[in-house]
Amino acid sequence: MRVGTLIDYRLRVHGLPLRWQSEITVWEPQRRFVDEQRRGPYRLWLHEHTFELRDGGTLCRDHVRYAVAFDILVHRHSSGPT
């Protein structure tokens, strides 16, 4: 793996075929890497994986920033308590 690596996925979501491509945009072995969607269902997909030595093991964290078309249909926002 290295910066510029392209990864192609073929998935099925609720039985529907989906093609997705991500690119490794940051590669810092033993610390973190970032993959960004180049082709797929999201308007934005930025996925950071971080690794930290902790208590004799490794703590892995994922942070995802994403945006979808028609966000209001995907995320039902409330205007306050109901």
Q: What is the pLDDT of residues 27-59, one digit of tens each?
A: 999 999 999 999 998 999 999 999 999 999 999
How far apart CA 79 and CA 70 sit, in angstroms, is 18
Q: What is the average pLDDT across 54-78? A: 82
CB 18 within 8 A of CB 40: yes
pTM of the model: 0.79
Q: State residue 11's pLDDT score.
A: 92
Mean pLDDT (the chain) is: 89
Say how many C-beta atoms besides its own lie within 10 A of residue 49's C-beta. 15
In this prediction, residue 72 carries a pLDDT of 56
74, 54, 55: which is closest to 66 by C-alpha?
74
